[in-house]
Structure 1
């Protein structure tokens, strides 16, 4: 290796945002292994790369002793003092033992280490980038399906949309552009692994934050979300400003804000409900679009009995109980729905 190698190394390190010294330290450590592998492993050696010239030297570390028992690890006092008068018994001195053919081995080893470290650094950069995006949304492009996993390209990495994170009714085709929720980023031996979701309630939350400025600015708060992916979502919102209607802000002019989110979720219905600290009002609102006549609450059991008009019973319960189920999950209350005639019977 030479000065040109050092210059090239510095250039690569700069381009890849890697510390040059870290690379050189790694090369030196690898050269120690290469030396022991090719020229004997019994010696205690160190390798030094000159930071300017690029010259590589191997030094055997030997202890100064009166009587030599191991030539690889020890040197006699007389021989040590022939190198320098300053040495005394017990000192550790470096003896250069650079083999003549070591240059070629050094060059090959250095190349391998640099390639490996660049790959590791790039993986590290990608990991940090996506780790910071955990619990956030990202846009990806569908590439292929492998064993029911949908592989989604997200910049420099392919993310995995596992079967349990896919919306049952959705189909994913090559080159489809989709928004996903980043649920986890893992470090693996093959590089970062990004796990994404189309079913997570956080996807709906982030979409609203993106489309509704009042939510992004903190004027309107998302208090709760309950979701059955691909079918229906209920979202409870609250305004910290009495002059701002939280439901109206989320719906947007002519319904355009919520429609963007519905389109992104491929037609999933969204009920936007005004959150209320009064459980009676909150539970009544949560059963939207059904109209509620009366709500009786049991604070101790956190259970509510809801009365609705006879003609609204099926709407309040919903298809296969979905509306009631989502309302219960949204509010955190057990909800028992009865029609007006049932309650009077």
Structure 2
């Protein structure tokens, strides 16, 4: 090692951000380990690299004691003062013991340490970069597929899209460009592991924020998201400015904004509704595209009974209860959907033509628990 070696380390400091002193300290520790391993020394030793010239030296170390028990690691006070009269008890005497053929070992060790530290630094840089982006969207290229895991190239590293985070029936091929949501960044011995998702509600939220300037500016708020990836999603939006239509802003001119998101998600249907502070209006809107005749709410229990025309009942419930299930997730309310004819059977006093309100049966909630099967209100609301 020489001054050229030190210059190379300074260049690395500028390029990789690894301090020269940190590298030299690591090299000194590695050289000491190599010295003990190759020369079988049991004595205490120290390796020093000159910060100006790059020259290295190995020193044995012996503690100054009154009575010597092991002359490999100890020296008497009398002998120490023969070397230098200033030595006292508990001082350390150093003698240079650099082996003649230590140069080749030193060069090889230094190279290994530098390469290892460069790898560690690059891994730390990548980890810091992506850990700060958790909850954000990134675009990558499908590199390979192993055991149903999709590996996505991100330049200096790659992300993993596990089967549980893949959209059902979505086909991934080598070279495909994908937008994914960063769920978690883990630090491992092999470097940072970036876990991404195509099913997370956050992906839908970020896609809308990219497409809708009003969301980025804060003029429109995205209040809630309910998503069944690959099939259907619902989002609730709101604006404090009465002159702005939050639903129209998200749909975009000729539906272009929402259509771009639908295309990115391979045809996933998206219902955009206007959030309302009034629970009855909010619940009614959440069942879109079904038309609601009337809503009765029990705010303490967060339960709503919704009346729809007979011909709208199947639309309100949706295929396999999907529309009702998503509405419940979106609003956080338990929703019971009844047709007008069903209401007439249950409550003969109910008049479909005067449906702006109806009496509350105190025993209804008990009956409701037995009859209602469509939505489980314990399901957590997504997208906040």
Counterpart-to-counterpart distance in 2, 1:24 and 1:271: 61
Q: 2: CA distance between counterparts of 1:90 and 1:174?
A: 67
Equivalent residue number for residue 313 of structure 1: 313
Q: Tell me which residue corresponds to 2:373.
A: none
Q: Tell me which residue corresponds to 2:190.
A: 190
Q: Tell me, yes or no, if the aligned pair for 1:287 and 1:324 is still in contact at 8 Å.
A: yes
Q: Report deviation, 1:99.
A: 1.4
2: CA distance, partners of 1:186 / 1:3: 39
* Aligned counterparts of 1:229 and 1:318: Cα–Cα separation in 2: 16
Q: TM-score, normalised by structure 2?
A: 0.88
Give deviations 1:242-291, integer Å, cap 9, x for gaps. 22111111111111111111111111111011111111010000000111
Alpha-carbon distance in structure 2 between the residues aligned to 1:312 and 1:168: 28
Residue 9 of structure 2: aligned partner:
9
Alignment gaps of 5+ in structure 1: none
Report if aligned partners of 1:137, 1:180 keep a CA contact under 8 Å in 2: yes
SS across alignment from 1:38: helix
Moved more, 278-287 or 58-67: 58-67
Distance 2:99 2:76 in 1: 22
Shift of 1:41: 4.1
Mapped to 2, the partners of 1:45 and 1:117 lie a distance apart of 24
Partners of 1:283 and 1:41 in 2: CA distance = 79
Q: 1:48 to 1:282 in 2, by over 3 A?
A: same
Alpha-carbon distance in structure 2 between the residues aligned to 1:28 and 1:222: 56
- Asked if structure 2 preserves the Cα contact closer than 8 Å seen for 1:165 and 1:199, the reply is yes
Partner of 2:49: 49
The Cα of 1:300 is off from its aligned counterpart by: 2.2
Q: CA RMSD in A?
A: 1.1
Give the Cα–Cα distance (whole angstroms) in 2 for the partners of residues 238 and 62 of structure 1: 76
CA contact (8 A) 1:309 1:340 kept: yes
> What whole-Å deviation, never above 9, does each CA across 1:309-338 have from its counterpart, x for those lacking one?
111111111111111010001000011101
Residues 159-308 of structure 1: pairs in structure 2 closer than 5 A: 159-308=159-308
2:327 equivalent in structure 1: 327
Gaps of 5+ in 2: 346-384
Query: Which structure 1 residue ranges, 4+ long, deviate > 4 Å from structure 2?
Result: none
| Distance (Å, rounded) in 2 between the aligned partners of 1:21 and 1:174 | 44
In 2, are the aligned partners of 1:56 and 1:103 still within 8 Å (CA)? no
3-state SS, counterpart of residue 156 of structure 1:
coil
Aligned partner of 1:341 in structure 2 is 341
CA–CA separation in structure 2 for the residues paired with 1:66 and 1:280: 91
- C-alpha distance in 1 between matches for 2:157 and 2:7: 30
CA distance, structure 2, for counterparts of residue 90 and residue 263 of structure 1: 76
Whole-angstrom CA distance in 2 between matches of 1:79 and 1:259: 88
The 5 A counterparts of 1:24-43 are: 24-43=24-43
Q: Distance in 2 between matches of 1:55 and 1:71?
A: 28
Task: Normalising by structure 1, report the TM-score.
Answer: 0.97
